Structure 1
Amino acid sequence: IMQYFGAVGIQNPGNCTSSTRKNQVAYKPGDFCSISENHPDWFLLDINGQRISDSPGSDIYRMDPGNPGWRDFFVRRVLESQEERGWSGLFLDNLEASLSEIQLDGITLANYPDDASYQAAILGFLQYLNVNYSQPYNRPILANIIARRDEATWFSYLQYLDGAMQERWAVGWKPSDYVSETKWKGDMALAEKTQSQGKHIILVAPGNETDASRQNFAFASYLLISNGKSAFRYSSEINYSQVWLYNNYEADLGTALGPRYQSGSLWRRDFTKGHVIVDPVNHIATLSTDSSATPTSTQTVTTLPTTSPTPVTPTATPTAIVPTSTLIQPTATSVVLPSNTPTRVVPTASNTLLPATPTLTRTPIPATPVSEKIFDDKNPILVYSSGWQNISTSKAYNGSYKETTRSGATVTFPFTWQSFSIIYKGGITFSEFDVYVDGALVGTLNQKLSAATYQQRWDYPGQLPFGNHTLKLVFKVTSSTINRGSLDAVIVR
């Protein structure tokens, strides 16, 4: 059973002793006051340095998804709550895919001036959850991804999720509105592509409870694309605590005979015991349990491209969905966690070393070619474990670098290029990092130098296949006096 937590922020109950809602991670009395006083940098701020509520008049204040301390607190509280209550997964509500919700309130953020920077911070937040919650405890994470301007962000977030929810699917938001045929096709394709990547998708079609025609159209649309990893719900946003049941949920269509296909202006899918036909232009649909009704020879049948996911038998009855507006107490047996402190995932020495030896250039960073891109140590896409501190100095790239003295401290960086370089500070007391790419140990970065030197560059000598990769640095203390490690920037190319 998955536990619901809001992804946006924390509640201000108005004082330091009142109880707070349990659907956000600052759920203990006094949490907001403690965070406000001791960790003001965790809050998301506008360009005037002011904190931001998630909507005008709301008591939920937005937190900075790129802040390492906030990320660590979030994971610790999720684990603590799940140890106590027996949850076995995490559902994140209102995970934003753009700044559109914030911009609607006329707000400009201090640290995230555009969608790309905000998305990078959230992507880093999701990766931190994946590494410190999902992987070590084998617990799934699903999210309600909102404010999406494009498909790319959905699938970017999905790389660190087990699935996602589309809260407006196949129909419009308003009970009387339908989407265009083009948008309907986009909804269908998104659901199919998500499942084809092995991810789960929850599809919510909004409407009035008594509008049986709208419900039938939305449910039939779902049956066209259900390939074993989807769930459907027809509901109203204000009635998520209710379960609406309809007779067509009990229709026995049998096994799907193939993927959906186009027949004239209609879309159809055949089953062993019936078929489904949907008209996305006129917003009507037919669910038939008459298996003898098949397309006639006069119909033009267009089979979907071969890139469509392989069909898996859907069930006519949609998977039950836990309402996302309320926190429901679990009935599952309590799960005992190893500890309240998230275990860091550190690759083992059994990984194979590449034969090539990295080269070290002891010169400041040269002018970056057009084909390279520098990610400063403060970039939110870099995910730091605990044990790092920020050091400000004009000698470092962009005025600062990160330093650690904790053996086993890590920093993780997802990127989409073919090679990389690491910029760092070295010196007589500096030690080593093991360098991993996609889980494989590819080398060791020795930062020990005869004198303190800034903006040193370590070049990865290999060439990776073009695509998504993950760089991970794991710090090693080699002696009581050689116990420092640093990261100034990462260059990708």
Structure 2
Amino acid sequence: MLLSTACSVSAASDPIVTGPVPKPLAPCAWWYGIGDSPAAWEIREAAKHYDVVVLNAWETSAMRRLHDLNPKVKVLVYKDFSSTRNYAGAVEGDRDSKYLPTGIGYHAAQQQHPDWFATDTNGKRIEWAGYPKHWQMTVWNKAYQEAWTKAVVAEVVREGWDGVLADNDFSSLRYYSPAVIAGTSDTAGTDRLLREGLDGLLQLSGDALEKAGKMLVPNVSESQLTPGRWSAHSRYSGAMEENFGLRGDNGAGELITFKGNQFKEQRAQAALGESWLLLITHTKSDQEERVGYASAALLASPHTCWTQADPSYKSPYWSIYQDARLGEAVEAANRLPSGAWTRRFSNGWVAVNPTKAAVRLTPPAGLVTLRGEPVAPETDLPPADAAVYVNAPKK
């Protein structure tokens, strides 16, 4: 159990601190390794560099090797909350594979519970656009929730995983399908049904995994659309944000991460320091990499981990910013009147401008870039950009 700053309060006494204040450390690294089977050298490097690794269910040998090399690494198994799948690998002919990317096998559902396949208003099953042979399931169905939980918890305990990374804990079906689910009158009703169903599945599986001493970390999508959703769905062992530092308006506008209530809820989670924030920034440029890391640093905590990635998730990544060695945050993240954010660390300073306009900043004295160049007393930070500076070497 993680130590915390939880306290008991009465009208006649001060809070009683039950553990040390968590250190707001610069972001750790993690690997979302679901795109391919890890090579031996990747496993060795992962054991050295990553705090959390997520692997497919059939990678049990890799999981055990990671545990042997570094018992402190948390190795989670990928499981999808919302779909069943019948592509090669998830099925073998007319049978489900032994190890599944989902909680429920396609053939098991087809033969025993065809009602677990969600259908549209025409009675047609819903296949996700862009993801062939991924089928939307009735996540609101209590029997589906119970079967998913029973199967996944049993597998996690039997195989020795540290817990589950539960994908597609989403807020809206529209990113996968325009369908209206049977029994709902419109897409808003469809999304509400799915959100409420996932609320129930999260609670059932989270309680069961917690009772078994295992972790549940859902991939919470579009939580900025629903105030309170990030906090509610990260309450077990944390949560994953797959589009952290994402820019709006087709890449030309403000940073969506900072809109709505989501960033505020993530800051509150980081301040407690009890659960994992697993953050991914899909990077195609140095700017996106810089923004992702600096934004994660604003959420510094003992369990804030960040990685850059491409959508294939085939390779582990290590960013130059993770070599910056920022150390421990010495202040809370500050939001300036301009809309920019800054935070000072024991060995550096970060700034993020999530707005559409450039902002002028005054960095602390004595900083250099990662290339060792002195930082000017004032600097203009472009829109949707960031800065990561470190302390100048002592003479």
CA distance in 1, matches of 2:363, 2:376: 15
**1:124 maps to 2:200:** yes
Q: Residues 191-219 of structure 1, C-alpha deviation per residue, up to 9 Å, x if partnerless?
A: 213324644221211112xx223312321
In structure 1, the partner of 2:45 is none
3-state SS in 2 of match to 1:87:
coil
In structure 2, the partner of 1:7 is 81
In structure 1, the partner of 2:111 is 37
Instruction: Report the alpha carbon displacement of residue 156 of structure 1 after superposing the two structures with TM.
Output: 3.4
In structure 1, the partner of 2:52 is none
Instruction: Report the alpha carbon displacement of residue 83 of structure 1 after superposing the two structures with TM.
Output: 3.7
Pick aligned residue for 1:68 from 116, 134, 142: 142
In structure 2, the partner of 1:261 is 334
In structure 2, the partner of 1:156 is 232
In structure 2, the partner of 1:207 is 283
CA distance in 2, matches of 1:214, 1:144: 21
In structure 1, the partner of 2:34 is none
Structure 2 vs 1, CA of residues 289 and 95 (structure 1 numbering), >3 Å: closer, same or farther?
farther
Q: Residues 347-387 of structure 1, C-alpha deviation per residue, up to 9 Å, x if partnerless?
A: xxxxxxxxxxxxxxxxxxxxxxxxxxxxxxxxxxxxxxxxx
CA distance in 1, matches of 2:96, 2:197: 31
Pick aligned residue for 1:243 from 316, 329, 341: 316
Q: Residues 130-155 of structure 1, C-alpha deviation per residue, up to 9 Å, x if partnerless?
A: 23x22320211001112442333333
CA distance in 2, matches of 1:179, 1:162: 32
Structure 2 vs 1, CA of residues 135 and 235 (structure 1 numbering), >3 Å: closer, same or farther?
closer
Report if the CA contact (8 A) 1:272-1:291 is conserved: no
Pick aligned residue for 1:24 from 102, 113, 117: 102
Instruction: Report the alpha carbon displacement of residue 180 of structure 1 after superposing the two structures with TM.
Output: 1.0
CA distance in 2, matches of 1:138, 1:18: 28
Identical columns (%): 19
Report if the CA contact (8 A) 2:76-2:164 is conserved: yes
CA distance in 2, matches of 1:92, 1:35: 19
In structure 2, the partner of 1:107 is 179
CA distance in 2, matches of 1:228, 1:280: 24
CA distance in 1, matches of 2:321, 2:362: 10
Instruction: Report the alpha carbon displacement of residue 54 of structure 1 after superposing the two structures with TM.
Output: 2.6
Pick aligned residue for 1:55 from 122, 129, 147: 129
In structure 2, the partner of 1:189 is 264
3-state SS in 2 of match to 1:245:
coil
Report if the CA contact (8 A) 1:171-1:178 is conserved: no
Structure 2 vs 1, CA of residues 153 and 278 (structure 1 numbering), >3 Å: closer, same or farther?
closer
Q: Residues 218-272 of structure 1, C-alpha deviation per residue, up to 9 Å, x if partnerless?
A: 212221221333111111212x221222322122333322112245634321223
How do residues 297-312 of structure 1 correspond to structure 2 at under 5 angstroms? Answer: none
TM-score, normalisation: structure 1? 0.51
Structure 2 vs 1, CA of residues 254 and 158 (structure 1 numbering), >3 Å: closer, same or farther?
closer
TM-score, normalisation: structure 2? 0.62
Q: Quick one: which amino acid aligns to residue 193 of structure 2?
A: S
CA distance in 2, matches of 1:248, 1:138: 34
How do residues 354-373 of structure 1 correspond to structure 2 at under 5 angstroms? Answer: none
Report if the CA contact (8 A) 2:119-2:126 is conserved: yes
Structure 2 vs 1, CA of residues 164 and 62 (structure 1 numbering), >3 Å: closer, same or farther?
same
Instruction: Report the alpha carbon displacement of residue 57 of structure 1 after superposing the two structures with TM.
Output: 6.6
Report if the CA contact (8 A) 1:3-1:87 is conserved: yes
Structure 2 vs 1, CA of residues 112 and 121 (structure 1 numbering), >3 Å: closer, same or farther?
farther
CA distance in 1, matches of 2:219, 2:276: 12
**1:216 maps to 2:290:** yes
CA distance in 1, matches of 2:336, 2:251: 25
Q: Residues 28-73 of structure 1, C-alpha deviation per residue, up to 9 Å, x if partnerless?
A: xxx5334212212222122222222233672122211122222222
Pick aligned residue for 1:171 from 221, 246, 250: 246
Structure 2 vs 1, CA of residues 249 and 91 (structure 1 numbering), >3 Å: closer, same or farther?
same
CA distance in 2, matches of 1:80, 1:249: 36
Larger RCO (CA under 8 A, 6+ residues apart): 2
Structure 2 vs 1, CA of residues 19 and 128 (structure 1 numbering), >3 Å: closer, same or farther?
closer
Report if the CA contact (8 A) 2:228-2:265 is conserved: no
Q: Quick one: which amino acid aligns to residue 344 of structure 2?
A: D
CA distance in 2, matches of 1:57, 1:273: 44
Report if the CA contact (8 A) 1:112-1:118 is conserved: no
Q: Quick one: which amino acid aligns to residue 215 of structure 2?
A: P
Which sections of structure 2, spanning at least 5 residues, go unmatched? 1-74, 369-373, 380-389, 391-395
Q: Quick one: which amino acid aligns to residue 92 of structure 1?
A: A
The CA RMSD over aligned residues, in Å, is: 3.6
Report if the CA contact (8 A) 2:95-2:107 is conserved: no
Structure 2 vs 1, CA of residues 178 and 169 (structure 1 numbering), >3 Å: closer, same or farther?
farther
Q: Quick one: which amino acid aligns to residue 23 of structure 1?
A: P
Instruction: Report the alpha carbon displacement of residue 85 of structure 1 after superposing the two structures with TM.
Output: 2.4
Report if the CA contact (8 A) 2:145-2:200 is conserved: no
State the structure with more CA Rg.
Answer: 1
CA distance in 1, matches of 2:200, 2:155: 23
